[in-house]
Amino acid sequence: MTSPQTWSSLSWLYIGVVAFLVGGLIVVSERWHGRFTGDNDLHKPQASHVRPAPRVGGLAVVAGSLAGLLVLGPRNMTLTWLWPVLFIAAMPVFVAGLLEDITKDVGSGKRLLAAFASAAIAWWLLGGVSRVGFPWIDWLLSFWPVSLIFTMVAVGGCTHALNIIDGMNGLAGMIATLMSLSLALVALQVQDVPIFLIATALASATLGFLVWNFPFGRVFLGDGGAYFVGFILAELAVQLVVRNPSVSPFYALAVLFYPVFETLFSIWRRRFKRGVPVDQPDALHLHQLVFRRLVRVTFSRDRRHAVPALCNAMTSPYLWVLALIGLVPATIWWDNIWILCASLVLFSSVYIWLYFRLVTWRRPSWLLLPSLGRDNRHK
């Protein structure tokens, strides 16, 4: 079996370069496909970009990770069958997302069903959630219909959740990279080489795409990319727990918690606070509030730095740091249920505190960008 040490930095570079080249090809050929693949609706509630850009950046991530695993697979027998199964299972939700990127006519309900279908295929071929840390639930999960339904909801929901946070240049891509690295580090500690290789391949491919996405948004991850990455991350988390009894099931939740919590919070906010359908788009996600109330105010007053795309991109680092609040302890204490639960509580508390400070216009002055920190100290 191939050890992680034999996988040189050139392998990561190779994957990143493939993703970078495919992303570049999408950008330079925009004049021919942009009217189909471009995100041209600049007035929809969740839009924060000022110029159309191709929404098919997910093709770069798929191409990069696929190219790397094609080279690496023959060296590791377990990897040889594991990654093709994951890619096959990911196809329904990836294709549904890609069709939405091109036709703009595949509703969120159909995409969620495609996510459930992908999760069901992965359950059939690889197995699904079999333990969550509570004996009576684990007993129920020993019955295959319960395990199937639970896996479909958990994996399909996490897959859909990553698409929810894909709203700013570099946000979903970097969050996915951080999650992939966390999975890779834990897999390395339990010597699960196939999970390590797939997670690092996904991270490298996503970084290759990010060169074009951050900071100037020349290409977007799109629904296809967000669903593909979200599905692979969710399945890697499930399989890491299934294959390694020493890894706490709460780690699988902790590593994916930011998009999951964002989704659950959005459902609560829309259904119970605003009384609107839970699938109705709005401009009240945390990243949109950070954009309007911490970042855009700086650029609107300091005309010397009035670069709209850069204004968009400066939102993402706030959320990267927020995600690390939960990811760092989860990566270190992946086998400690109490610390994992504490990391979930800490992330939730910081998220809710920041959200309600921003939504009520009581933004913390120390979070404002430096050029306007003094001017807005008492606002």
- Is 281 domain-assigned? no
- Is 10 domain-assigned? yes
As a whole number, mean pLDDT of residues 219-245 equals 96
Could you tell me if 201 and 313 lie in one domain?
no
Could you tell me if 188 and 81 lie in one domain?
yes
pLDDT score for 304: 46
Could you tell me if 88 and 199 lie in one domain?
yes
pLDDT score for 370: 72
Q: With contact defined as beta carbons under 8 Å apart, do 102 and 95 qualify?
A: no
Average pLDDT, the chain: 88
Q: With contact defined as beta carbons under 8 Å apart, do 238 and 249 qualify?
A: no
Residue 5 pLDDT exceeds 70? no
- Is 261 domain-assigned? no
Alpha carbons 341 and 347: distance in angstroms, whole number: 10
- Is 264 domain-assigned? no
Which of 235, 256, 277 is at the close of a domain?
256
Quick: pLDDT tens for 64-93.
998 888 877 666 656 678 888 999 999 999
* Cα–Cα distances in angstroms (integers) from residue 24 to residues 31, 213, 221, 222, 255, in the given order: 13, 10, 13, 16, 30
Could you tell me if 236 and 324 lie in one domain?
no
Could you tell me if 235 and 337 lie in one domain?
no
Domain of residue 241, residue span:
4-256
Question: Based on the structure, what is the number of domains in the chain?
Answer: 2
- Is 279 domain-assigned? no
Quick: pLDDT tens for 279-304.
788 888 999 999 989 988 776 655 44
Place 137 in a pLDDT band, splitting at 50, 70 and 90: very high
Q: With contact defined as beta carbons under 8 Å apart, do 294 and 367 qualify?
A: yes
Place 268 in a pLDDT band, splitting at 50, 70 and 90: very high
pLDDT score for 213: 95
Place 378 in a pLDDT band, splitting at 50, 70 and 90: very low
Could you tell me if 32 and 138 lie in one domain?
yes
Place 38 in a pLDDT band, splitting at 50, 70 and 90: confident
Q: Tokens 């996600």 label which residue?
A: 285
pTM, entire model = 0.91
Helical (H) or strand (E) element with 162? helix 144-164
Could you tell me if 235 and 145 lie in one domain?
yes
Helical (H) or strand (E) element with 347? helix 337-359
- Is 275 domain-assigned? no
Could you tell me if 214 and 173 lie in one domain?
yes
Could you tell me if 76 and 164 lie in one domain?
yes
Residue 328 pLDDT exceeds 50? yes
The β-bridge partners of 54 are 38
- Is 134 domain-assigned? yes
As a whole number, mean pLDDT of residues 10-18 equals 87
Burial 284-309 (b: 16+ CB within 10 A, else e): bbbbbbbbbbbbbbbbeeeeeeeeeb
Could you tell me if 8 and 128 lie in one domain?
yes
pLDDT score for 323: 97
As a whole number, mean pLDDT of residues 270-287 equals 85
Q: With contact defined as beta carbons under 8 Å apart, do 48 and 293 qualify?
A: no
Could you tell me if 220 and 365 lie in one domain?
no
Lowest-confidence pick of 3-12, 106-115, 119-128, 346-355: 3-12
pLDDT score for 301: 53
Residue 340 pLDDT exceeds 90? yes
- Is 42 domain-assigned? yes
pLDDT score for 376: 43
Could you tell me if 204 and 340 lie in one domain?
no
